Structure 1
């Protein structure tokens, strides 16, 4: 049971990494082509209704605070970071979906480098968002290592876990 739950967490984590990578890629591209003033205006429009209802809304305030600090240099660095982070995450997820076990060590190394940067960020500019992302990435690295050590491809984990979730007999070789 514990193994199946960890498999499910791994699959959900890979899904979230893919979605996160796509959001970061889109965000990085937007930062390259949208002026900081436009981003501040867009963030204000997106959060106005929520802040009128709850002036202390965490996500709305984080968004407003985040775009308020974008200068030209900060914007370029953030765009490059988001583009790189997004491309790497999407490449890892695609490679895992294709079924290459060789990607596991590369995925762990790439996520480990981002993890080191996030730990540095937590010490220089602490934030709840970076702390949560750091813990999430550490768990994903551990679960990726677990899958790699077990010698399974993502497809096998997927088939066995889906069968377990829907209480079906798993296909041979997916246990």
Structure 2
């Protein structure tokens, strides 16, 4: 029994840490979205050239540096605006859902799961079009968060009332 409780405590801590990482990711997406709104594609290209010039001087065939230059060279104003809006919306939704789940708002668990499943589907599509180990790791992390959120949601529902349910009940029935 004690071993099961320590395993549950470990999963609970893992759940909280995973949510905090997702929330931090949302904050970084907000910052990235704001930067994309404030910085022009030409300025992004200038920064990319500055950041890669030393590496390319040592190894002109460096894959990462050349990929970064290629991506920024093809960046248009409309692509930059789309990226900014995408990052801002994605970041805000992620932060709100992470906050609500951390506050144990029961409604947020299914929304968090649905939100992540949509992005997992998109990420799987991106992997099929252009394989990337980073995308594979991100997708695996999101799948793990879906599983652990589902587990936590089932536990919260089976426990009956949540703190939000208690606050919503009329005083006369408490």
Local SS of the residue matching 1:151: helix
User: Within the alignment, does 1:119 sit opposite 2:124 as a pair?
Assistant: yes
| 1:124-143 paired onto structure 2 within 5 Å | 124-143=129-148
Distance 2:148 2:52 in 1: 35
2:3 aligned partner: none
Q: Mean Cα displacement is larger for which, 139-148 or 34-43?
A: 34-43
**Alignment check: 8 A CA contact 2:15 2:145 kept:** yes
- Aligned positions, number: 152
Alpha-carbon deviation of 1:52?
7.6
User: Within the alignment, does 1:78 sit opposite 2:83 as a pair?
Assistant: yes
- Against the structure 1 CA distance between its residues 11 and 45, is the aligned structure 2 distance closer, same or farther, given a 3 Å change threshold? farther
Distance 2:128 2:117 in 1: 17
Alpha-carbon deviation of 1:57?
8.8
| 1:11-160 paired onto structure 2 within 5 Å | 11-46=16-51, 51=55, 64=69, 66-151=71-156
Deviations 1:84-117 (A, max 9, x none): 2111111111212333122101111111111111
Gaps of 5+ in 2: 1-5, 163-174
Alpha-carbon deviation of 1:77?
2.3
Alpha-carbon deviation of 1:41?
2.2
**Bigger radius of gyration, 1 or 2?**
2
Deviating runs (4+, > 6 A) in structure 1? none
- Under a length normalisation based on structure 1, what TM-score does the superposition of the two structures give? 0.73
- Against the structure 1 CA distance between its residues 62 and 151, is the aligned structure 2 distance closer, same or farther, given a 3 Å change threshold? farther
RMSD of aligned C-alpha atoms?
2.9
1:165 aligned partner: none
Deviations 1:25-52 (A, max 9, x none): 1111211221112112223445566x48
- Against the structure 1 CA distance between its residues 71 and 147, is the aligned structure 2 distance closer, same or farther, given a 3 Å change threshold? same
